[in-house]
A and B are shown apart, each in its own frame.
Chain A
Amino acid sequence: MISFEMPKPLVQTRTVVETVAKNMMRPVSRQLDENEHEIPWAYIEFMHTATKALGSSSMAPDEAPQKKKEDPEKKKRPPINYQRLMIMVETLSWGDAGIYLCTPGGMLGAAAVSAAGTPEQKKRFLSRFTGKEPIFDAMAMTEPQAGSDTSAIRTTAVLDEKTNEWILNGEKIFVTAGNKALVDSKGFIVVWASLDLEAGRSGIRSFVIEAGTPGCKVTKMEEKLGIRASDTVSIVLQDCRIPFENILGSPTVEKSTKGYKGAMQTFDATRPIVAASALGVARAALEFVQEKLAEAGKEIRYGIPRQKMTHLEREVIEMEIQLRQAWLLTVKALWMADNKQSNALIASMSKVKAGKVATVITQKAVELMGPLGYSRDFLLEKWFRDAKINDIFEGTGQINLLVVARNILGYRGSQLR
């Protein structure tokens, strides 16, 4: 039966996370924005302790706490781990999208290990997150000459048969939390590299490089438009040697593009999560506008004909419509993920929509709030800067439109580039 009732546990999750967002994020938002590269340790320590207390190693759905006891009643409940993650990410990003990206525990790197790793690898790489110290991970795909076109990466991995080690060479850029994973904690990064440049997509594999590995160096920290609390770094790999066992998936190059496709599949889960983050920022901006209008005694009249509405009313109503539509696409995408239904189409739809909506809403909000919107006395101008990243990373708006278009048209990449 069609239902839009938010599951009770998620309502609780939202209440709890909202407290964190209000008390640990909003108060330091401005401070961290103005002091780029300062690390929000208080938030990090808190989240680390909190996730550990929940018996979970990370926010990743697959690692979420499992019920130990077999309770037949509970078992019948539909799975909601992805939906829970959505609520957490949306609410944390409503608090501060940059600080949210500093959440310790498994994120994108762990997602890749979970998706493609052996049980042994999962244990080796993922158990660290429940230790005493907060640990970070990262995912390094993008290179200076290869962003959207991930098949154009040139980082290489060559097997040294004598030592049974992979030797990696290349440069990765724009690695989110790369510094936290490699320098500020004993974490790891998942690096995408080619076993055979001639082989194109089918030669691409992912490798785990742990913090402290010689030949793997953070060389630059970017200065950005927004999400300044989150570090974005360049990493140079120079004869970086890692054990043979650090490859995720098959070590031989076959004709198939399974490894590459595996990477693309993890996007089906991660894209709606990025959408959720965008939605949080957009909601913050919309609520700010609504509060300021209420303070000024301006009522929004719903249900009257457009011809009678003020411009302001139309804009605010339009923002509400767009935000709710994007939210529902995202909920559905993650509900499908929870129910193990293939969701590539709606996952990309949610990212397209949320990325665009968040960008437009924050931009409109700054416009509608006039001098208040433009002022750094409020966080609105920051949300305008933060929101834009959601239309860029995890596939730009255009790349996600491509994915949606290929899906609805039944086209392969070669038919629609």
Chain B
Amino acid sequence: MVGDAISHAVLPGIVIAFLWSGSRDSVTMLLGAGALGIISTFLIEFLTNKGNLQSDASIGVTFTWLFALGVILISAFTGQVDLDQECVLYGEIAYVPLDTIVLNSGVDIGPQAIYLLGAVLLMVIAFVWLGFNQLRITSFDPQYAISLGISATLWNYLLMAFVSFTTVASFESVGAILVVAFLIAPAATAYLLTKRLKTMIFIASITGILSAIGGHFLAISINGSIAGAMATVAGIIFGIAFVYVRSKTKGDAKITSRESIVA
């Protein structure tokens, strides 16, 4: 799961970008984390191809040590700089509405995060829309794609760059844990429910939206952490899908066995 790996691996990038520039503005963070995202992709490829490791082993190695490095950096410098562990891990989604953009004329046009993440959303949609065929063929059968003259490496790096960007842009508002939860849970839920790629993408998006809304209300009603509640709801939806699919396949198996008895 390269997306998961990247979302962990970009942590030191964010910290280093912050320590180096001393600013918490999103663009600096995006650049730092984007760079780490690409470095970790290189590292994974390198370990797999040259180090002869299995691909999941190289992914595991890469993201655990980079994430650990990030956590060490944060705890080492927490005292000196205004960057706390809680904030990076859990985000500060509750403060998002307060961090608004105020135009020169004095008009408040709403939270900054909405514009940043909205722009990322549009870019990701455009990327997946335009590159859908290339992304599908290079994920399914990279060697065949190369034989057609489609560069599997290029599309892999593009995909990873977009995963890094999305991760990093979301980091500031929602924190590492929610990013990881939302990278994995909705996609895993969709993978259980359908075998069609386009339907899968659609279900994953809907699940993500429902988890966010559901988590918001859950957090209000129990007066708990918003990020935690959203991750919990995403987990619950996955659990429901899992139970549903299990009971359905069992039902199908019964029907087929009955049919074969009749036949």
Partners in one complex: no
Residues of A within 8 A of B (CB): none
